[in-house]
Amino acid sequence: MKSDWVSFETEEAWYQKLQKHLSTALVYIIDSYITIEDIPKWLQRGLIRSENVAKVIARDIKLHLNKLLIERHQKFFVGRNKEAAKKLIDKIASNGDEKPLFICADLADSSAIKLAIQKARDQLGTIHTLINNAANDQRHTTLEVTEKLWDELMNINLRHQFIIAQALIPQMIGNGGGAIINMSSNCFLLPRMASYPCYSIAKSAIVGLTRSLASEFGANNIRVNCVMPGWVMTKRQINKWLTAEAEKELMQDQALKKKLYPPDIARMTLFLAADDSQMISKQCFIVDGGRV
């Protein structure tokens, strides 16, 4: 079945039509990356159909977001793990994509966060979108939590989201608007919760943070939304906690009987970052395969 899109007189006309439907210049077909210039040929040969053109897939959320964001937009990310950042950047570059800017900073240090934001502005210019994604779901029990551990877990799971938003909002106001997407979790809504009370507390607080910022800065055309992922099959989750018993329990709980992966979260995040969601704010979107 051929797509109507291939009836356009030129590939340029087809390209313009496609750009209205996709927020990316790349697609993922049969485990291979192909460029947008290749798509008309694939469609004409009947190898793919327009309704099967899917967004690019990758192994973790940051890599997937880099693929999905429109190429003319410059990207940067902040973190403290230089080795992991280098691997990510090399992976992005190996796919033929522009390397994002990495700024090394401890997200538990508010001064370091502010310096990182200033460095990004100096090198890249205006910042339109913030995605708060850093977190640590290390297991712990209530009785073993010390004041030090409490502060550490709140800093990496909650505090930095407020500090970064606070640092960027004045610029977004000056720009006439922006988008903030905060990563929460469905963990505090589950009937059976993993042993990480501080993580659950922080993730529930992010819902309140999201709604508060959305109310306060909506008049400045700043949209603030929240994504609440389920159990996402990252390498860390698979290696540490995915057992046969845990997977069986997960499939019993979920309405959709398949595992959740980083691209599933990235697609929702991209939608909330793009103008496609220009009238959506103060909302929390659960992406968990119907577990909650």
- Residue 199 catalytic? yes
Comparing CA positions, the residue from 182, 184, 26 lying closest to residue 98 is 26
Both tokens of 230, joined, read 């389920």
Q: How many residues does the chain have?
A: 292
Both tokens of 202, joined, read 């922080």
Q: Which CATH architecture has domain 127-287?
A: 3-Layer(aba) Sandwich (3.40)
In our burial notation (b when 16+ CB lie closer than 10 A, e otherwise), range 46-61 reads eebeeeebebbbbebb
What's residue 60's pLDDT?
45
What's residue 91's pLDDT?
82
What's residue 228's pLDDT?
98
What's residue 40's pLDDT?
53
Cβ atoms of 163 and 208 within 8 Å: the answer is: no
Query: In what order do the strands lie in the sheet containing 26-29?
Result: 32-35, 26-29, 54-55
Question: CB 133: neighbour CB atoms within 10 A?
Answer: 18
What's residue 76's pLDDT?
73
Distance in angstroms (rounded) separating the CA atoms of residues 182 and 205: 11
Can you give the pLDDT of all 292 residues of the chain as single tens digits? 333 334 444 445 544 554 444 433 333 333 333 444 454 554 455 444 444 333 322 334 445 555 444 444 567 778 777 887 888 888 878 877 778 888 888 887 888 888 888 888 888 788 888 989 889 999 999 999 999 999 999 999 999 999 999 989 999 999 999 999 999 999 999 988 889 999 999 999 999 999 999 999 999 999 999 999 999 999 899 999 999 999 999 999 999 999 999 999 999 998 999 888 999 999 999 999 999 9
Could you say which of 15, 28, 33, 199 is catalytic? Answer: 199
Distance in angstroms (rounded) separating the CA atoms of residues 135 and 151: 13
Is the Cα dihedral 262, 202, 140, 255 positive or negative? negative
Sequential DSSP letters for the chain: ---GGGGSSSHHHHHHHHHHH-S-SEEEETTEEEEGGGHHHHHHTTSS-GGG-EE---SSHHHHHHHHS-TTS--EEEES-HHHHHHHHHHHHHTTPPPPEEEE--TT-HHHHHHHHHHHHHHH----EEEE---------GGG--HHHHHHHHIIIIIHHHHHHHHHHHHHHHHT-EEEEEE--SGGG-SS--S-HHHHHHHHHHHHHHHHHHHHHGGGTEEEEEEEE--B--HHHHHHT--HHHHHHHHHH-SS-S-B-HHHHHHHHHHHHSGGGTT--S-EEEESSS--
Domains of the chain, residue spans: 1-56, 127-287
What's residue 27's pLDDT?
36
